[in-house]
Amino acid sequence: MHIEVCDLSDDWPRLERFELTGQVRRSSNSSPDQLAEKHDDRHIKNKIEGVNGAGGEVGEAIHHLYIASLNKYNEAPTYISLKGRYKECVRMLNGMERSLERQLPKRERRWFTPEP
């Protein structure tokens, strides 16, 4: 999706190059970047931190795309499609976090995970 966001933002006004264009590109790339950075970390809490950070970056990317849509830099269906796909990413990240938290002692978990 980062490549799509870069292609989409190429057509935005030049005056946005160092503002909205740069911000949406950074946030759309930062989410997978944070996951990659924490992937090989041996500490579960650090991995969870990476997943949380990735989710925040997804939210930021959605916001920047929304602002671009309000400014009519892209069509509403494009924004709606990207937003939906990003929201699916958030659902997957939440699942990753729950899965990682199951590896922590119960007293350290933030998500309630009932025992089978």
Residue 7 half-sphere exposure, CB side, CA atoms within 13 Å?
6
| Residue located via tokens 């009932």 | 114
Kindly report, residue by residue over 39-56, the tens digit of the pLDDT.
888 899 999 999 999 999
CATH class given for the domain over 2-103: mainly alpha
Query: Closest by alpha carbon to 21, among 33, 34, 8?
Result: 8
Contacts of 15 (CB under 8 A, 6+ apart): none
72 burial via Cβ count (<10 Å: 0-12, 13-18, 19+): exposed
Confidence of residue 28 (pLDDT cuts 50, 70, 90): very high
Domain ranges in the chain are 2-103
| Confidence (pTM) | 0.86
Q: Residue 76 — very low, low, confident or very high, per pLDDT cuts 50/70/90?
A: very high
Does residue 116 surpass a pLDDT of 60? no
